[in-house]
Structure 1
Amino acid sequence: MKFDLPPSIQNLIAARNELKAHYSAVDLHFTLDGNLVGDLGEAVAAELFGLTLTGRSNEGVDGYAPDGRSVQVKASGTKRGAAFRPVETKADHLLVFHFDYDGCYGEVIYNGPEEPVREVLPETWVGQRSVSAPAFRRLNKLVSESDRLQIIAKAT
């Protein structure tokens, strides 16, 4: 499911795109990674799905859906997917966004229970482990409509 990014985020992306164009001769990409992209994902999830965000104090849970389910949000601006860290607290639900900075749109590539995604990760590990975007899309096809969070607002 693709959606337009909110205007305030579009402004940020437009500024990034101007920098990328200006420095294209030296092949700088100005990818928006790390905490910023995670924060953008949580902001979009709050708008689209009505999440009540928890802030940075709750490891493994980024917010709560209107129906009370705990939710973790992952976001990426690359085609690599999203990284997970080993945490004790597991969310009931997982939302994964891909942001296309050049096209200035986002896409939900996974909207379902977190457990099936956790099952593709090793039982134990140190540091970060990634799940690829194709794996998220494959798993997303297996999610029943009743297990998905419903969109409550258009993100424009």
Structure 2
Amino acid sequence: MRFELPPSVRKLVAARNELKAHFSEIDLHFTFDGNLVGDLGEAVASELFALKLTGRSNEGIDGYAPDGRSVQVKASGTARGAAFRLVETKADHLLFFHFNYDECFGEVIYNGPEEPIRKSLPVFRTGQRSVSATTFRRLNENVNAADRLPMQSQEEI
């Protein structure tokens, strides 16, 4: 499910794209990564799905849906997927976004319970493990409509 990035994010992306074009002969990419991508994901999720964000105080839970479900948000600006750390707290729900910064749109790759994603991870004790975008897409196909968070209309954003 594709959506337009919110106006504030589009401004940031436009500035990034301007830098990328200006330095194109030097082959600088100005990729969004790390905490910025995660923060963008949470900001977009709060607007698209009316999440009440928790800030950095809750490990494993980024916010709460209007119906009370705890939600973890993952985001990527690449086609690879998302990384997970081993944490005690598990969220009820997971949202995974892909951001296409060149064309200024986002896509909801996964909107469903967190448990099937966690079950797809290899067993690990330390560090982090990744779930591929292909796995997110495959598992998203099996999510019942009633288990998805409803998206706010673009006019409400």
Please give the TM-score of this superposition, normalised by the length of structure 2: 0.96
Q: Report the alpha carbon displacement of residue 49 of structure 1 after superposing the two structures with TM.
A: 0.5
Corresponding residue number in structure 2 for 1:117: 117
Map of 1:14 onto structure 2 = 14
Structure with bigger RCO (C-alpha 8 Å, 6+ apart): 1
Q: Which piece of structure 1 moves more, 117-126 or 69-78? A: 117-126
1:120-131 superposed matches below 5 A: 120-131=120-131
Unmatched 5+ residue regions in structure 1? none
Q: Which residue of 2 aligns with 1:99?
A: 99
Residues 135-156 of structure 1 deviation map (CA, whole Å, 9 limit, x = unaligned):
1111100101010000124275
Q: Which amino acid aligns with 1:49?
A: F
Partner of 2:120, secondary structure, is: coil
Structure 2 unaligned blocks of 5 or more? none
Equivalent residue, structure 1, for 2:32: 32
Counting matched residue pairs gives 156
Q: How far 1:51 sits from its partner (Å)?
A: 0.4
Q: Which one-letter code corresponds to 2:25 in the other structure?
A: A
Which structure 2 residues correspond to residues 1-156 of structure 1 after superposition, within 5 A? 1-154=1-154, 156=157
Q: Which has the higher helix share?
A: 2
Moved more, 86-95 or 130-139: 130-139
The one-letter code matched in structure 2 to 1:75 is A
Q: Match of 2:141, as an amino acid?
A: K
Paired with 1:128 and 1:25, the residues of 2 have a C-alpha distance of: 36
Q: Kindly indicate whether the alpha-carbon contact (under 8 Å) linking 1:49 and 1:153 is maintained by their aligned counterparts in 2.
A: no
Q: Secondary structure at the match of 1:107?
A: strand
Tell me the TM-score normalized by structure 1: 0.97
Residue 26 of structure 1 deviates from its aligned partner by 1.7
RMSD across aligned C-alpha pairs, in angstroms? 1.1
Residue 22 of structure 1 and its aligned partner are, at CA, apart by 1.1
Aligned residues of 1:98 and 1:107 also touching (Cα < 8 A): yes
How far apart, CA to CA, are the structure 2 residues paired with 1:33 and 1:22?
20
SS in 2 for 1:78: coil
Letter of the 1:40 partner, please give it: L
Identity percentage of aligned residues: 74
